[in-house]
């Protein structure tokens, strides 16, 4: 079935099929999961709806849809989900599914998997709705290029908004449905009192989402001392209201009034002069009951601001599957940014240089723009085969972009991707397969290294290299796990001809530190940076004139006390990973320092001074380039 949906941002007229194949669109709520394929801009087919309770995981329902739709490879997918989305891990509020975006993308073989809040997606569909896809409730007139508000009672109470920005819209991700419910009359006081027996905090979502109809019905029945069967649900109450049952009608009327109050609150909060839209399936099922209710009256009932709200129109969305419009627009913008927008420097660089490349190199460029995951994951032989070029052509393409080689290009490409690269910790769980926990450990480590690269203070790195290169003696101190890093550092630095030693015992650290003085350097490695005995040892050495370089977390006593602090913050769950990531980051820092000292001793002094000066004064990107130059240039000097 084809809906013929159209969006002003993506007109069908003159459109052609997506060159990278059909795109999977999904709208997942607490009850149903809806899927479709977009074959070209605005053309949505193969719509299917599955009950969420029929599937143990989101991965299972995705696989079921792909099998039922008999579709070949899908490269790009986008999911609108009834849940806040913040980072890689999503745990649904109104259903049991919890998943990693990156692990799901990998399991399904997608190049791109975007997951966004469902009402953020629905908001993006609003500018493209026609008069046939909405019904106005009450008066008011839309003001062009003004903020648009959105709410939707379903299993939960979704909230979003659109802010105009030049020729595009910015969608707000919001959890406004969880704002505290405030009753407006005695009847709503009764509802609040009843709800408080179940929950310590009563949000608008408790009373103005679909399940709120049942709650209000039971509260009013308790007021009238009427018994309610345990099997009563919102659908029963709505059916009874349509049949004319007095108590059910009162419950629906109370529900609509509360929803009107909440909509008015949202309108004045956002300044939604472009109109307030109501989505979700609940209001559509109420039909004429909603249109005849006190919703609009309560929407305007804001005292001195009644005239303000009287000019704000309210609409009920009647379009079928409107979230597909919005999530399609978000995915299209994401892919457009990747191919030619300004969101990523590496993708912008490829686009700008594409026409100047040879035909063979252009095929590698197109592969990188359309299938960046393939470039990141595949060995050079597979990249060359997919682009139908030779392996040297792949290397020439990377160097034409200013990269040292394929590995350097892969790192920059991974950093440039947005929306699907893991940027937060993915927890390892009991029952994970070797594939799952292996991938999580690797993803967590890669994520931590990329974050370190973005946030490391390169001026401090340059200062630490100066201290180590000029040191009379270097001692590495580490306790517990950190002793492994200290021993590794000792192995690397003793070859520079500088007297070095590593100690992992507090007694030996104290004894040796007492003999240090001016010109000596201690490198203290500690994840916590709080061991009082180690701090006392370092105080003794510093009072005698020794310098201390700390490799530790930020804002720790050790970081504050050291001559130079190299801070390595990251996300880690100790119980499950036993400081694995921190140790890897500490080893990386030692490698950076060792490479820097190796270059300092191998290159002419003037050249190194220029590099250090550049690292001190440059932006983060330029300073990173200096460190890249150091690591590549000193490879032979620092090799085993």
Residues 228-273 have pLDDT tens digits of: 988 899 999 999 999 999 999 999 999 999 999 999 999 999 999 9
Structural contact between residues 169 and 150, judged by C-beta atoms closer than 8 angstroms: no
Query: Which H/E stretch holds residue 323?
Result: helix 322-340
Band of pLDDT at residue 511, cut at 50, 70 and 90: very high
Beta-carbon contacts of 268 under 8 Å, excluding residues fewer than 6 positions away, are 302, 305, 308, 309
SS3 424: coil
- The reported pTM is 0.53
Q: Hey, which residues does 148 pair with through a beta bridge?
A: 162
Separation between Cα atoms, residue 467 and residue 485, nearest integer Å: 19
Indicate whether 608 pLDDT > 70.
Answer: no
Q: Is the dihedral angle over the CA atoms 230, 236, 237, 241 positive or is it negative?
A: negative
Mean pLDDT (whole number) for 387-398: 91
Indicate whether 638 pLDDT > 50.
Answer: no
pLDDT number for residue 627: 43
Lowest-pLDDT range, 14-28, 263-277, 511-525, 532-546? 14-28
DSSP letter at 143 equals P
End-to-end CA distance of the chain: 63
The full length of the chain comes to 640
Query: Which H/E stretch holds residue 284?
Result: helix 282-286
Residue 581 or 551, more confident: 551
Lowest-pLDDT range, 125-129, 530-534, 541-545, 560-564? 125-129
Our CA dihedral for 84, 87, 89, 95, rounded to 10 degrees, sits at 0
Band of pLDDT at residue 4, cut at 50, 70 and 90: very low
Structural contact between residues 540 and 513, judged by C-beta atoms closer than 8 angstroms: yes
Structural contact between residues 213 and 237, judged by C-beta atoms closer than 8 angstroms: yes
- The upper half-sphere exposure of residue 607, i.e. CA atoms within 13 Å in the direction of its Cβ, equals 11
How many other C-beta atoms lie within 10 A of the C-beta of residue 222?
A: 15
CA angle 375, 377, 383 (to 5 degrees): 40
Task: Strands of 21-97 (E only): list them.
Answer: 23-28, 32-40, 43-51, 76-81, 89-91
Mean pLDDT (whole number) for 390-395: 91
Residues 438-471 have pLDDT tens digits of: 777 777 777 778 777 767 888 999 999 999 999 9
Beta-carbon contacts of 131 under 8 Å, excluding residues fewer than 6 positions away, are none
pLDDT number for residue 454: 65
Query: Which H/E stretch holds residue 205?
Result: helix 204-208
- The upper half-sphere exposure of residue 313, i.e. CA atoms within 13 Å in the direction of its Cβ, equals 16
- The upper half-sphere exposure of residue 420, i.e. CA atoms within 13 Å in the direction of its Cβ, equals 26
Separation between Cα atoms, residue 521 and residue 517, nearest integer Å: 9
Indicate whether 433 pLDDT > 60.
Answer: yes
Structural contact between residues 47 and 295, judged by C-beta atoms closer than 8 angstroms: no
Separation between Cα atoms, residue 47 and residue 127, nearest integer Å: 22
Band of pLDDT at residue 416, cut at 50, 70 and 90: low
pLDDT number for residue 341: 43
pLDDT number for residue 148: 95
Indicate whether 46 pLDDT > 50.
Answer: yes
Indicate whether 415 pLDDT > 80.
Answer: no
pLDDT number for residue 427: 62
Mean pLDDT (whole number) for 572-591: 72
Nearest to 87 by CA among 422, 366, 387: 422
Structural contact between residues 292 and 283, judged by C-beta atoms closer than 8 angstroms: no
Query: Phi and psi for 324 in degrees, rounded to 5?
Result: -60, -35
**Secondary structure, 3-state, 83-141:** CCCCCCEEECCCCCCEEEHHHHHHHHCCCEEEEEEHHHHHHHHHHHCCHHHEEEECCCC
Separation between Cα atoms, residue 551 and residue 270, nearest integer Å: 46
pLDDT number for residue 156: 87
SS3 152: strand
Separation between Cα atoms, residue 536 and residue 27, nearest integer Å: 58
Separation between Cα atoms, residue 339 and residue 349, nearest integer Å: 10
């Amino acid at each position: 079935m084809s809906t013929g949906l159209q969006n002003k941002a993506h007109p069908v007229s003159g459109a052609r099929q997506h060159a990278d194949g059909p795109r999977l669109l999904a709208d997942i709520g607490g009850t149903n999961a809806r899927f479709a394929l977009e074959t070209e801009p605005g053309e949505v087919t193969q719509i299917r709806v599955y009950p969420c309770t029929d599937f143990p995981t989101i991965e299972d329902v995705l696989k079921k849809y792909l099998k039922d739709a008999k579709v070949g490879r899908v490269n790009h997918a986008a999911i609108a989900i009834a849940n806040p989305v913040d980072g890689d891990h999503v745990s649904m509020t109104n259903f049991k599914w919890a998943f990693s975006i990156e692990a799901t993308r990998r399991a399904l073989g997608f190049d791109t998997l975007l997951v966004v809040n469902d009402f953020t997606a629905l908001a993006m569909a609003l500018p493209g709705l026609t008069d046939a896809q909405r019904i106005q409730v009450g008066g008011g007139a839309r003001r062009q290029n003004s903020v648009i508000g959105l709410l939707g009672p379903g299993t939960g109470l979704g909230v979003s908004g659109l802010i105009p920005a030049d020729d595009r819209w910015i969608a707000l991700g919001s959890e406004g449905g969880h704002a505290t419910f405030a009753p407006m009359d005695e009847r709503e006081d009764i509802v609040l009192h009843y709800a408080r027996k179940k929950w310590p905090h009563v949000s608008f979502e408790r009373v103005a989402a679909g399940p709120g109809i049942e709650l209000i019905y039971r509260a009013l029945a308790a007021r009238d001392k009427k018994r309610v069967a345990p099997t009563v649900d919102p659908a029963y109450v709505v059916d009874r209201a349509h049949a004319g049952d007095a108590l059910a009608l009162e419950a629906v009327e109370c529900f609509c009034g509360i929803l009107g109050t909440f909509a008015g609150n949202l309108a004045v909060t956002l300044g939604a002069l472009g109109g307030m839209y109501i989505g979700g399936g609940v209001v559509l099922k109420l039909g004429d009951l909603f249109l005849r209710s006190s919703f609009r009256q309560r929407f305007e009932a804001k005292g001195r601001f009644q005239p303000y709200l009287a000019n704000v129109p309210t609409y009920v969305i009647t379009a079928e599957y409107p979230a597909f419009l919005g999530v399609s627009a978000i995915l299209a913008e994401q892919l457009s940014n990747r191919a030619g927008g300004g969101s990523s420097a590496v993708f912008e660089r490829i686009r700008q240089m594409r026409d100047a490349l040879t035909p063979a190199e252009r095929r590698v460029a197109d592969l990188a723009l359309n299938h960046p995951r393939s470039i990141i994951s595949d060995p050079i032989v597979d990249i060359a085969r997919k682009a139908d070029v030779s392996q040297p052509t792949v290397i020439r393409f990377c160097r034409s972009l200013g990269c040292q080689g394929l590995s350097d290009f892969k790192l920059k490409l991974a950093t440039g991707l947005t929306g699907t690269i893991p940027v937060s910790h993915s927890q390892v769980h009991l029952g994970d397969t070797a594939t799952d926990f292996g991938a999580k450990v690797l993803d967590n480590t890669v994520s931590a290294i990329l974050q370190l690269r973005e946030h490391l203070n390169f001026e401090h790195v340059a200062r630490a290299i100066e201290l180590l290169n000029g040191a009379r003696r270097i001692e590495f101190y580490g306790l517990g796990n950190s002793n492994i890093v200290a021993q590794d550092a000792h192995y690397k630095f003793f070859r520079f001809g500088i007297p070095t030693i590593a100690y992992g015992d507090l007694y030996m650290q104290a004894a040796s530190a007492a003999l240090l003085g001016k010109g000596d350097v201690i490198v203290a490695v500690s994840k916590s940076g709080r061991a009082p005995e180690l701090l006392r040892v370092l105080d003794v050495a510093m009072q005698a004139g020794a310098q201390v370089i700390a490799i530790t977390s930020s804002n720790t006593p050790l970081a504050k006390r050291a001559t130079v602090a190299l801070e390595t913050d990251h996300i880690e769950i100790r119980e499950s990973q036993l400081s694995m990531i921190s140790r890897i980051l500490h080893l990386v820092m030692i490698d950076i320092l060792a490479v820097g000292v190796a270059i300092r001793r191998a290159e002419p002094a003037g050249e190194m001074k220029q590099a250090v000066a550049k690292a001190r004064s440059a932006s983060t990107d330029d300073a990173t380039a200096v460190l890249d130059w150091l690591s590549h240039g000193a490879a032979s000097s620092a090799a085993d």
